[in-house]
Structures are given as structure tokens and as C-alpha cells.
Amino acid sequence: MSTQLPMFQLYIDGQWTDGSTGQTMSSINPATGEAWANFACTSKEDVNRAISAARRALNEGEWPAMTATQRGKLLYKLADLIEEHAQALGELETKDSGKLLAETKMQTGYVADYYRYYAGLADKIQGATLPIDKPDMHVFTSREPIGVVAAIVPWNAQMFLTATKLGPALAAGCTVVLKASEISPVSMLEFARLIEQAGFPAGVVSVITGDAENCAIPLTSHPDIDRIAFTGGPDTARHVVRNSANNFAVTTLELGGKSPILVFDDADLDSAANGLIAGNFGASGQSCVAGSRAFVQRSVKDKLIALIKEKAASIVIGDPLDANSHVGPLCTETQVERIEDTLEKAQAQGANIVFGGMRPEGLEQGNYFSPTLVECPDDQTETLTVEMFGPVMSIVPFDNEDEAIAMANDSVYGLGSGIFTQNLARAHRVSKKIKAGICWVNTYRAISPIAPFGGYGDSGYGREAGLDAVLDYTNTKTTWINTSDAPMANPFVMR
């Protein structure tokens, strides 16, 4: 007897709806390889409807009439609802993407603090009075919502990456059309229920999903979009930038990474081993800041590899819903195939697989891949140049500081980086020279709503999170007021 799969609808203009064409897709559970839910897909007509609703909500009705403090209170309420439903949202995200439930539940709960942070900033967006160089003029600046925002998030950390966009956008008074990844959108479609429960007026936030042709392209190229906040890969980002030529939308891009971690001979090696494991095997390696390029001073390389191997031996690969699992499946079969292909090329280049390098036995049904350590002959080995989005760590030795910095910077990416050393002067010196938007010293993968997040080069531009992010969702207006009772001077009489 067949079991009917749960169905998730789109949320457009305050209404739950199927797509106008009736198209649906299935979400595949990465742990089983089987469909577990269906969801509605957006058409071009639906995209237009969501954007029209966002434009209307921006200019009319309750939302523009609210004070900044009132907007903040709605964000506080949303944060409380997220915290309250963290377990349920985490379970949906785990079934949808294969991420560990322990991680999705924890991350969802912590995401509430991002909304609280921006709730507190909502009524602190200020202009300034200018000491202008002309008499009888009172000149001041004010901040206004930039307009309708297209927020596009990938599958690997949707709740977190949504918060870094939706939080500041709503605090600034913008309206948002949020596109969830069509690979695993279920948790985001369910998240829309919390937006509704929090009391945001219809049209302020719509949540949609679908393929590039019917959803992403119409959204990012629409003339009524004022700002695009995109997280994803560089190839897709190039299309987004080209699409934005149709609307001149202000665009920020948070893209991929091949982040370097430098381990010097004076480092606490136990701490460095933990950092490398967290940076590569945490989230099953499906992180844009994964520290997948490890550069280790030659004199401590063998000892560090032995430590990593010892610690990795206790990693449990298994069902992401099982609290005992440390590493779950990858989201898609394509990722597993890319890893296998990349490892094969790396071995042909002289790389040595220290451990892992295969699909684990007994878990053939899902998209599982064993945590893998690759010892590479140089920094041009395939595993150091390809973003695999899986639990693969590559180690290359170095002899001196300059060599380590040169190899770390020899990449088109520049998102995260890590340094392990007990020498404070070196920590400051090297972190200044690393070309990356984030540098962690003697830690890794730490995040906070207070700290800006973003990269250099092919890792994108613009910053998310932090105090200034909310200002990126505003336009500055300058107002000139003539305080003199005298009539304005004849413009053709020059004095």
C-alpha cells in the first residue's frame, strides 16, 4: 500500500498556494535515496505575483506605516517562534538535506539570535545633520528602505543564510521575496508559517522555490527588484550579475571557498587537529568555509596527521536523525561522484589517501562518503583546487612562513582562513597577509550575528551579518531646507 507524501505549498502574498502551472517536485532524503515529500514549484507568473505583492506591501498598508520599533517587535516575535520550533524545523531540514539533526536543531535555535540582533537595530538606523558650508541651510540625511529584495539561499545552511538576509532587510523596512533551493526547500516553506504567525503583513515576505528558468531568472532579472542577496556558487553568481543588468539591483554575493588553514610548528597540535576536523568533517564538509586546504609546517606534519587519524577513527557515519552520528550523508549523489572523480585525479598526480576515500560499507543506499585525509605533493593537486563540498581534507607541507602565505593566497577564492600558532606576533602578521574575508586564529567556523561574513575574489563581495549589514538594505536621502525668509536668489546672477 503506497503512502501519500506530505505536500508543501508556496507562500505568496500571505497565501498558501500551489504554483500556477501545477508543477511539483519531490524532495529526496539523502540518507535513503528515496522521496519523502513533494513541494509546489513557482512559475514566471508566480514570481511576478510575489514581486508585485512585495512592491505593494512596501508602499501601501500596514508595513510602511509601522514605526521602526514596531518592525523590531515583529522580528523579536519571529525569533521566539524560531526558537520554539527549532526541533521541528531541524527535523525537516535533516530529512531534506541530510545534515545532522544535532546540527540543524542547534543552528536553527541559534539563528533566533540573528533576528533578535536585527530587531534591536531596527530603531537605531540613523541619519545625520550635516555642518554644511552654505548659510541659511539646514541639511540632514535619513535612511530609507532600499526596496524589494530578492534573497536567494542554497540548500546547505538555509535557516542561517536566510537570517543574514531577511533579518537586516526587514529591520530596514524592506520587503523580501525569498527563493529557497529547489534541492531541499521544505524547511524554508515551513519557516514561512512562522513568518505568518509572527504577524508580518501580507506581501512583506513571500517564500518560493523552483528551477532557474521559471524561478531564479525571472526573479533576479525582474525590473521591480531593488536588491539581490545571493548565496551559492560562482558560476550561478555570474548569471545573477548578468540578470541584474535588467534592474541595476544592488547585489551582494556570498560564494564558494577553498579555505586555507595554516598550522605552524609552535601550534597546540591537539587544538589544530580539532580545528582541521571541525573545518573539514563538520557538516559533512558541506560548508562554504570548509578548511579543505591544510598547510602544515613540515617538522610537525607527521605528528599532526597521526593525531587527525586517531581522532577521525572514532567518527560515526550514519543516519543524520541518530544522535550518535557525527557525519551524515551528502545532500546529492552528484557531490559523491565529484569527490570520487577528484580523488582519482589527485592520486594520478601523486597524492596519497591516508584514510577514507570511499563510500562506507553498509550505507550504500544513501549519499554517504567517508571522512578522507589526502596527503598532497604540492598545492596544485586536484583536491586543493576543486570545491568538492564533502568531507575531504588535503594536507601540504611548508618550510617557512612566506611559503605558507604564498600557498594560502594561491587561490581564486578568499572566504575563510585559519591560523594555528601560539606566537601572537605571527598571528597578527600572517592574518594581515592572508587574502580572505574571515580569519580564525586558534579556532575555526565560529560565527556570530555581530561579526561580518563575506569574502574576496571568487568568494564574492559584500558582507552579511554585523552592524553595517542593515545599512546595506537602505538608501541614503539628503534633505536641504532653506531656513531664510528671503526669496531664493536669481540663478543667473553669479556672485
User: For 376-394, what is each residue's pLDDT tens digit?
Assistant: 999 999 999 999 999 999 9
Q: Model confidence over 330-359: pLDDT tens digits?
A: 999 999 999 999 999 999 999 999 999 999
Report whether pLDDT(294) > 90.
Answer: yes
What confidence score (pLDDT) does residue 272 get?
98
pLDDT category of residue 91 using cuts at 50, 70 and 90? very high
Task: Record the cell numbers describing residue 398, joined without a space.
Answer: 611548508
What are the beta bridge partners of residue 90? none
Give the class (CATH, top level) of 7-255+459-478. Answer: alpha beta
Q: What is the mean pLDDT of residues 114-127?
A: 97
Binning pLDDT at 50, 70 and 90, where does residue 493 land?
confident
Q: Which residues are catalytic?
A: 254
Among candidate residues 349, 337, 347, 353, the one with its CA nearest the CA of residue 380:
349
Dump pLDDT digits (tens) for 295-337.
999 999 999 999 999 999 999 999 999 999 999 999 999 999 9
Residues 6+ apart with CB under 8 A from 461: 252, 253, 454, 455
The vertex-77 CA angle with 192 and 85, nearest 5°, equals 55
**pLDDT tens digits for range 195-248:** 999 999 999 999 999 999 999 999 999 999 999 999 999 999 999 999 999 999
**C-beta separation of 253 from 230 below 8 A:** yes
Distance from chain centroid for Cα 192 = 18
- Dihedral in degrees, nearest 10, Cα atoms 160, 256, 319, 2: 80
- Give Cβ neighbours of residue 215 (< 8 Å, ≥ 6 apart): 41, 42, 47, 179, 182, 208, 209
Whole-structure pTM value: 0.95
pLDDT > 80? residue 1 = no
Domain ranges in the chain are 7-255+459-478, 260-441
Which superfamily does 260-441 belong to? Aldehyde Dehydrogenase; Chain A, domain 2 (3.40.309.10)
Q: Are 229 and 150 in contact (CB under 8 A)?
A: yes
Nearest to 81 by CA among 17, 163, 13: 163
